[in-house]
Amino acid sequence: MHVTLLGTGSPIPYLERAGSSLVVHVDGEPYLVDCGPRTVYELVRNEIDPGLVRDRLFTHHHIDHNASFHHFAIASWTAGRDSLTVYGPSGTDRLLDALYSIYEEDLTYRASVGYDIGGMEDIEWVPVDETFHFERGGLAVTSLPVDHPIETYAYRFENRDGDVLVFSADTGKLDRLAEFATGADVLIHDAHMSPVGEPPDDGFVWERYTRPYSGPAAARLSETHCTPEQAAETAAAADVGTLVLTHLPPYRDVEATYEAAAAVFDGEIHVAADGLTLPVGGPDSNGSS
């Protein structure tokens, strides 16, 4: 098993980080989690064929996690995908309904030039709640409700060899997440409340995000997102092997973010970047296990 982080950013558009999305590779099968802005382009950039994705999961329905879903659904279909199962919380059904209502004429046109419409008509939605569990071959996936303003789930992926990946989704500090992630080889964790660094000297700059959050914004975001230290506390309590810090706004200080986590957690730490690929458990980093 291995994981590729396609997008490691936040709702704020930033060229260095696409919207939240990652692919878990198991026995050559890609499982796509979330679908933030630029997801399809990042699949292509990372040489992952969109047409091979037949299972995709949503953690929640904020725009930085689902904005590219319609693009993905149509692009993967035209790339040869013949089936798709979408796993996600309430609201996923409305996202699918919108796909068919907005793009009805587009889909009809594409079918008329030779694409098999079955690949679009047969998209299945499987609701996710706290009891969610599915198995595919040697993979088991379970969910955990986390602490965010809307219904949001963390996911735990475990293969037949006992290799484990956990993705926290967006969440405030949550003690039960450590139990859910116990023994994971890799924990990918929200660290949105990371220290601010220097903005670029040229080009467009979001001035609002060149300084730390303050006032009501800081108070509210601190309830629903984590600092690097909080993510590291969860990683240490869960005794995971590797911690990956993600969901980062623009202009974060990568070194300071790493050091903040390293002061709490003595395992391997990565401050995520788009395209980061890591093995999970076994020695494979190319998808053979």
pLDDT per residue as tens digits for the range 241-272: 999 999 999 999 999 999 999 999 999 999 99
Rounded distance between C-alpha atoms, residue 7 and residue 20, angstroms: 5
Lowest mean pLDDT among 9-13, 188-192, 280-284: 280-284
Q: What percent of the chain stands above pLDDT 90?
A: 95
H-assigned helices in 24-103: 39-45, 63-66, 69-78, 92-102
Examine the pLDDT at 289 and tell me if it is beyond 50: no
Q: How far is residue 50 CA from its own chain's centroid?
A: 16
pLDDT of residue 283: 59
Give mean pLDDT, residues 183-192: 98
pLDDT of residue 122: 86
Q: 2-279 — its CATH code?
A: 3.60.15.10
Give mean pLDDT, residues 112-123: 92
Examine the pLDDT at 42 and tell me if it is beyond 60: yes
Rounded distance between C-alpha atoms, residue 204 and residue 142, angstroms: 41
In terms of pTM, does the model score above 0.75? yes
Give mean pLDDT, residues 161-178: 97
pLDDT of residue 285: 38
CA distances from 177 to 171, 238, 281 (A): 10, 8, 20
